Amino acid sequence: MLSKEDLELEYQRIAFWINNMDTKISFALGATGVLIGFIFSNEDFSKTLENHSKTLQLWNESSIKSAVFFVLFGLTIILLVAAMWCFLNGLKAKINPRKYKQPHMVSSSNIFWGDISKHNYFSYKYRMDNSESNDWVKDMQTQIYINSCICAQKAKFYNIGIFCLKSALIGFLIYHIWMWFFL
């Protein structure tokens, strides 16, 4: 069995990874916002969009080129919105440890701030004064497991968001190249 010091170290390591994921997600969310702002604030873009909209209504040979333009643009926007959604969900605070409840896990933690704040100080102090060393070890093991699950969920949202962002960047480049060569 791990010592208290080993458990504390593991808990701090996982807290570091959660913080690391939040930092990465925040940076990626900012980059996504900048790209969306760039797309929608571009004056040439709005004129181009308007011209292709008119061409698409006529439906002739150049309408196919306009349709490809709209599809590429639409996919880019959808992917950017999906990336933002993933990044925002990755940053969302997940404070429901009961979601991860399993047999032999501590249900009311003396470590998790969400459980501590549900009680008044006297109740919290009483629980701390009357807890045994083994209770603390079980509580720490539970918190390590729950925080690991939270970190894995954040990493999942981050990775999906990065995939959407990279795909949107590729779509953005393709539709700009399409505009330069074909429109």
Q: Where are the domains of the chain?
A: 4-182
What was the pLDDT predicted at 67? 74
For residue 4, what are the CA distances in angstroms to 14, 113, 133?
A: 15, 19, 9
Percent of the chain past pLDDT 70, that is, above it, reads 84
pLDDT band at residue 79 using 50, 70 and 90 as cut-offs: very high
Gap between the Cα atoms of 107 and 111, Å rounded: 11
SS3 letters for 77-99? Answer: HHHHHHHHHHHHHHHCCCCCHHH
DSSP string for residues in 110-179: SS-HHHHTTS-HHHHHHHHHT--HHHHHHHHHHHHHHHHHHHHHHHHHHHHHHHHHHHHHHHHHHHHHHH
- Tell me what pLDDT residue 111 has: 86
Tens-place pLDDT, residues 26-50: 999 999 999 888 887 776 666 666 6
Q: How far is 109 from 127, CA to CA, in rounded Å?
A: 10
pLDDT at 73: 82
Query: What is the reported pLDDT for 24?
Result: 96
Site of tokens 């639409």: 74
Residue found under tokens 């429901």: 96
- pLDDT of 97 reads 66
Name the average pLDDT for the chain.
85
Pair 4, 137: CB distance under 8 Å: yes
In whole angstroms, give the CA distance from residue 95 to residue 150.
Answer: 9
Q: What's CA 57's distance to the chain center, in Å?
A: 39
**Residue keyed to tokens 């083994």:** 134
